Structure 1
């Protein structure tokens, strides 16, 4: 994935879209007064910033491999550079561990991640993974199987698999990995993140509009390395396909969403 200003803007747009799809909650875990929170793969730090503002009595730590976070933050918030592939040796113990949109791109070894999170938590703490499945779905079958969107998606998944990654998310598998690490009381809370302003619900309509904006602006960066390096496409071939995909995504008759 690119790590430029455009990608950081896309990440923030996607954050707001996902939060709207989740009915504007920061998290779903049944924790009322968190005191020590870690945001794993914090990205631009936007979730950690909102969390620190919402819970001024909590100590919030955001970690990421890239230094893309703001320097001026609330006194209860800190950002640190950290490689998730390394062993967690943090002095703090957390009552809430949060990560978002890490499937395939950032966390390759989920069992190890859950094991390290478990050993870094206080007794009675909670962990939450807010992941979306890069798998376009339409409940009313308004997207044909031979659509350009589906073709792009299938080819993209082939490419990322060659790179040893995936854009797919399998909640039941993640739940099993959590249990193996020692977690209990595991719940899967499904949401739908619409693509485009087609929902009648005004909140979901806004979520879908933001998702669409992020996709239209970010699909080139998402596709470039996958298509040119791993699939062997030329940039011109990729651009032609992406133009057709963008046109389809703008079609309000296609009622599609990403599972969350």
Structure 2
């Protein structure tokens, strides 16, 4: 695990020429090769991908992809009416863990909202900003490997858009259980990759059916499911969590909905998908499903065309699921 923290405060003798990596970081003069390794990114068809644990994540980490992540953060904020979470974590959490933090925007906002907490964001790519709240740190790690966090460390664990990233969700939730304090909360925010409609506007031959099936098939091929949005609640219960609450939401594919909130979400979703489908799908299509680059581009063009059709009342369903580790915290898997 590689950790990097905010620069030291001025009274700690911070030199502007110094790295933003903390004193306990593995990235220093003696590990220059390792530092270089994680930032010597892989390039495929003009898109940039992480090099550390190459291939573990399907999406690029270039500026275009990072902007898409920040746009998604805005959409989740709209979805949750300005809230960063739904789990009742109280006003004084001490340790918060954000898994798959991406650009770190959620972790940074949480650090601002909860100055009592140390917020740790974990990702495969060091794409987070250097200047962040003093109670926010970022670590480079693969969260699908065995964790090194102590038992009962975190008050709250946050997971968002890890679909297609986790090979064994049950084992992953067991590790979350182990590292949560008794009474601590876990929250999982995911959406479907298969558009649906509640009326007859999305016929059986609509391209959205093909689109969704291709994404789900790529998950099956890679062994990392894209359907976790509908499985989170049951998997958390099986892991021993209690007080499981599931909230549903919808993201229209464009601005077809007359409902003001859904209309705004749909416009943002159309903008996000129209500009982001290549990043979302290119590696899955070419590396996982072994399509040619040209075939992949035709598929992506069909998706962009579908997004411009307001006659189809399609949306992506999603869920926010939160649950608590009981005070009597013996896991059902250890009894």
Same fold (TM over 0.5): yes
Larger relative contact order (CA 8 Å, sep ≥ 6): 1
CA distance in 2, matches of 1:183, 1:122: 12
Aligned to 1:95: 155
Higher helix share: 1
Aligned to 1:195: 253
1:85 counterpart = 2:144: yes
TM-score after normalising by structure 1: 0.91
CA distance in 2, matches of 1:231, 1:88: 30
Summarize the Cα distance change of 1:141–1:26 in structure 2 as closer, same or farther, 3 Å threshold. farther
Question: Displacement, 1:155?
Answer: 2.4
Summarize the Cα distance change of 1:111–1:156 in structure 2 as closer, same or farther, 3 Å threshold. closer
Conserved 8 A contact 1:148-1:241: no
Conserved 8 A contact 1:135-1:168: no
1:123-155 deviation per Cα after TM superposition (whole angstroms, max 9, x unaligned): 211100001111101112322221122222222
Which of 23, 34, 37 lines up with 2:96 in the alignment?
Answer: 37
Secondary structure, counterpart of 1:190 in structure 2: strand
1:170-206 deviation per Cα after TM superposition (whole angstroms, max 9, x unaligned): 53x3323222322111111111122212222333322
Which of 100, 105, 112 lines up with 1:53 in the alignment?
Answer: 112
CA distance in 2, matches of 1:17, 1:62: 20
Conserved 8 A contact 1:17-1:208: no
CA distance in 2, matches of 1:169, 1:145: 24
Question: Displacement, 1:237?
Answer: 2.6
CA distance in 2, matches of 1:119, 1:226: 32
Higher strand share: 2
Residue ranges of structure 1 left out of the alignment (5+ in a row): none
Conserved 8 A contact 1:22-1:191: no
Secondary structure, counterpart of 2:248 in structure 1: coil
Structure 1 consecutive aligned stretches of length 4 or more whose deviation exceeds 6 Å? none
Summarize the Cα distance change of 1:78–1:22 in structure 2 as closer, same or farther, 3 Å threshold. same
Task: Report which of the two structures shows the higher radius of gyration computed on alpha carbons.
Answer: 2
CA distance in 2, matches of 1:35, 1:199: 41
TM-score after normalising by structure 2: 0.72
1:28 counterpart = 2:83: no
1:146 counterpart = 2:205: yes
1:231-260 deviation per Cα after TM superposition (whole angstroms, max 9, x unaligned): 443322332232222112111222221111
Aligned to 1:67: 126
How many residue pairs match? The answer is: 258
Conserved 8 A contact 1:61-1:78: yes
Secondary structure, counterpart of 1:240 in structure 2: helix
Conserved 8 A contact 1:99-1:128: yes
Secondary structure, counterpart of 2:69 in structure 1: helix
Secondary structure, counterpart of 2:71 in structure 1: helix
Conserved 8 A contact 1:193-1:204: yes
CA distance in 2, matches of 1:231, 1:63: 28
1:76-108 deviation per Cα after TM superposition (whole angstroms, max 9, x unaligned): 11111122123222257111110101122x222
Question: Displacement, 1:55?
Answer: 1.6
Conserved 8 A contact 2:190-2:229: no
- Which residues of 2 match residues 123-162 of structure 1 at below 5 A? 123-162=182-221
Residue ranges of structure 2 left out of the alignment (5+ in a row): 1-58, 319-335
Aligned to 2:179: 120
